[in-house]
């Protein structure tokens, strides 16, 4: 365990007038929403930047290309800067009003209104391997804004980059001592020390999430626990979109990017692609052609457009996952096995080519709707053209983080969303008229810093309110069989 500082009494007295205990059991320290004012006053516009050194470290640690490394680092920095800016507008406020007041009785004498107040605890943020900077930043930013100290626990395999980002923040001296702490490796009995004022936020596999939530202390102490786990996100092509049209080209570009960015190791990556049955062959051909142009190889190579998977365990899980999907679908592109990467020594590297499968009976398939392969892997599925059929197939995934639909038919869209939105955390309509304000199958992480679980899943929970549904587990799905989060140190290019 490595701890970057500890909140001492002198620090606490500077950032809060009314101290409260961080832990209800064990060692105690102090924190308060007044922290946000002192932090925000000195918060830089860009706390961490994607320099050539940091992108090189990202390539060595996680196997990312330069663009994918910037995606993670700049995304995390932008999130920190955004919430730092929000803090400047809060001033000395210790509460926030939520919504309008409501008259609860016959007269205004019985009147109610929601007020958000900070929790008097610590935020423990357990992050996945795929976004070592953005993953911790989006959780920590909300917690710090709410006046809570943060303990960051990154996935061990890519913790090197997380450690460097946190060291930069500590070196800038923009946080009170001990407000941001890092644990690499085992957390010991940390989770058994959490109490009712504390928060546990987890991103990773459903299997790990279930093991965390089954810990007796979390039940006994009513610890607020938020999970983002596996998600079989879907991209749906409307029947009004014809080949060669601008909307068609947008659909193909979006799907290919969402399959291959970060080598498919994104919680919001497209895993299922729905197209009208009469268009399925044309969609298959268009996607196969576009995926065939992707150059998989050494992430620092100038010709490479997609790097390797992060660890050997990810590669093994992905190969096994493609085999499971292959029992219900046929391969269109890729071979489902490790390949040699462009610019990498023969036999070295955890490379998997973009892999597209096709299943002709979407409703009878099971693994396709239950098992997420955390890699550049997606399955093409037909539907009969009706919005009800498309929405029902999307719903077979049991609940997803995000989903997208490509159509200009408002009536069709309304019927689709009426059903599909019940199992989709953030549905997005994509059309040519909206291109200037949205850039991805989800509202792309590059298009906004207030993304995914940043505001809804973490901030609301820290402000003493549970978040809206965000993960497959929270939205009522059965947790799919998932890839394990590896614990070995990664050398993604040369194992």
Residues forming the active site: 228, 267
Query: Distances from the Cα of 490 to the Cαs of 164, 169, 350, in angstroms?
Result: 16, 24, 10
Half-sphere exposure of 370 (CA within 13 A, CB side): 10
Half-sphere exposure of 187 (CA within 13 A, CB side): 19
Residue carrying the six token digits 């197209």: 275
Task: Please give the full DSSP string across 32-81, using - where no structure is assigned.
Answer: -TTHHHHHHHT--SSSS---HHHHHHHHHHH---HHHHHHHHHHHHHHHH
> Two tokens at 422?
């019940």
- DSSP class of residue 203? E
Q: Centre a 10 Å sphere on the Cβ of residue 350 and count the other Cβ atoms it contains.
A: 27
- d(Cα 428, Cα 445) in Å, to the nearest integer? 13
- Assess contact for 120 and 62: CB atoms under 8 A: no
- Assess contact for 179 and 35: CB atoms under 8 A: yes
Strand-pair category, 199-203 with 123-126? parallel
> Two tokens at 479?
């947790």
CA-nearest of 170, 193, 162 to 29 is 193
**Number of helices and strands in the chain (H, E):** 15, 16
Q: From its phi and psi, is residue 351 left (phi > 0), alpha (psi between -120 and 50) or beta?
A: beta
Q: Locate the DSSP E strands across 117-240.
A: 123-126, 150-153, 180-182, 199-203, 224-228, 233-237
- d(Cα 326, Cα 263) in Å, to the nearest integer? 20
CA-nearest of 156, 161, 158, 127 to 57 is 161
């Amino acid at each position: 365990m490595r701890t970057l500082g500890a909140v001492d009494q002198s620090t606490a007295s500077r950032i809060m007038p009314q101290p409260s205990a961080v832990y209800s059991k064990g060692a105690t320290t102090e924190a308060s929403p007044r922290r946000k004012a002192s932090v925000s006053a000195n918060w830089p516009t860009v706390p961490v930047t994607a320099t050539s050194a940091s992108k090189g470290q990202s390539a060595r640690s996680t196997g990312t290309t330069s663009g994918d490394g910037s995606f993670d680092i700049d995304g995390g920095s932008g999130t920190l800067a955004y919430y730092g800016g929000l803090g400047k507008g809060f001033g000395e406020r210790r509460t926030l009003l939520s919504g309008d007041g409501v008259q609860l009785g016959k007269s205004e004498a019985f009147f109610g209104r929601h007020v958000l107040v900070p929790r008097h605890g610590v935020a423990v943020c357990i992050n996945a391997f795929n976004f070592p900077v953005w993953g911790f930043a989006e959780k920590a930013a909300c917690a710090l804004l709410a006046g809570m100290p943060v303990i960051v626990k990154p996935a061990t395999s890519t913790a090197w980059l997380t450690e460097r980002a946190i060291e930069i923040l500590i070196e800038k001296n923009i946080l009170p001592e001990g407000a941001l702490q890092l644990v690499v490796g085992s957390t010991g009995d940390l989770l058994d020390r959490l109490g009712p004022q504390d928060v546990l936020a987890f991103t990773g596999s459903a299997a790990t999430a279930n093991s965390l939530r089954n810990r007796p202390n979390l039940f006994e102490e009513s610890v607020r626990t938020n999970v983002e786990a596996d998600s079989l996100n879907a991209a749906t092509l409307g029947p009004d979109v014809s080949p060669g049209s601008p909307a068609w080209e947008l659909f193909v570009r979006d799907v290919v990017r969402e399959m291959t960015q970060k080598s498919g190791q994104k919680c919001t990556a497209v895993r299922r692609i729905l197209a009208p049955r009469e268009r399925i062959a044309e969609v298959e051909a268009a996607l196969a052609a576009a995926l065939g142009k992707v150059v998989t190889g050494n992430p620092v190579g100038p010709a490479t457009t997609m790097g390797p998977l992060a660890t050997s365990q990810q590669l093994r899980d992905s190969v096994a996952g493609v085999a499971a999907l292959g029992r219900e679908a046929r391969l269109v592109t890729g071979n489902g096995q490790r390949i040699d990467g462009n610019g990498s020594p023969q036999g070295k590297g955890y490379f998997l080519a973009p892999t597209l499968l096709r299943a002709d009976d979407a409703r009878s398939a099971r693994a396709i709707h239950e098992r997420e392969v955390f890699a550049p892997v997606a399955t093409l599925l037909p539907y009969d053209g009706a919005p009800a059929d498309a929405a029902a197939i999307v719903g077979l995934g049991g609940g997803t983080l995000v989903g997208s639909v490509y159509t200009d038919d408002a009536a069709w869209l309304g019927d689709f969303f009426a059903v599909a939105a019940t199992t989709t955390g953030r549905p997005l309509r994509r059309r040519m008229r909206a291109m200037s304000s949205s850039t991805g199958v989800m509202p792309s992480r590059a298009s906004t810093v207030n993304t995914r679980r940043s505001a809804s899943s973490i901030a609301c929970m820290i402000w003493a309110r549970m978040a809206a549904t965000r993960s497959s587990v929270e939205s009522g799905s059965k947790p799919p069989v998932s890839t394990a989060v590896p614990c070995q140190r990664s050398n993604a290019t040369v194992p």
